[in-house]
């Protein structure tokens, strides 16, 4: 009916996808050489929300507090090696956005890949000019 067309019949209980547990997020956040998480589901938090008021973004907030990247809805079409690998994530710049579509490239190094220090986040963009 009309509720389905408008999306009014969707409740959080209808979304059921895997995520990262709070404990796993804390472990990942504590690792200095881990820069982020890539996952093939709509988010790092589980989509199963059985109770209204349940804290659904706990894993996301744990990772964000430690400046870890979260890349979701990743569709890898090949298997990547576990070593000597560099991942490049190129997000589309969205002014004021909290997320953006991105391209992901993988480079397999012949020898040991250099491990760079995590760079500081870029400065915020300047505010828009006032209207005339």
Write down the pTM of the prediction: 0.64
Residue 63 CA to residue 27 CA, distance in Å, equals 10
pLDDT at 33: 84
Task: Convert the pLDDT of each residue in 85-107 to its tens digit.
Answer: 888 888 888 888 878 889 988 88
Place 115 in a pLDDT band, splitting at 50, 70 and 90: low
Tokens coding 117: 């220090």
Nearest to 87 by CA among 64, 116, 44: 116
Segments making up each domain of the chain, as ranges: 2-77
């Amino acid at each position: 009916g009309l509720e389905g067309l408008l999306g009014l019949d969707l409740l959080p209980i209808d979304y059921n996808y895997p995520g990262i547990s709070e404990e796993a997020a804390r472990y990942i956040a504590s690792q200095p050489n881990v820069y982020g998480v890539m996952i093939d589901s709509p988010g790092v938090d589980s989509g199963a929300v059985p109770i209204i008021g349940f804290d659904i973004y706990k894993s996301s907030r744990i990772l964000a507090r430690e400046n870890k990247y979260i890349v979701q809805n990743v569709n890898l079409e090949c298997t990547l090696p576990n070593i000597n690998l560099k991942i490049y994530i190129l997000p589309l710049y969205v002014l004021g956005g909290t997320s953006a579509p991105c391209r992901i490239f993988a480079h397999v190094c012949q020898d040991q890949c250099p491990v760079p220090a995590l760079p500081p986040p870029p400065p915020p963009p300047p505010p828009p000019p006032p209207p005339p």
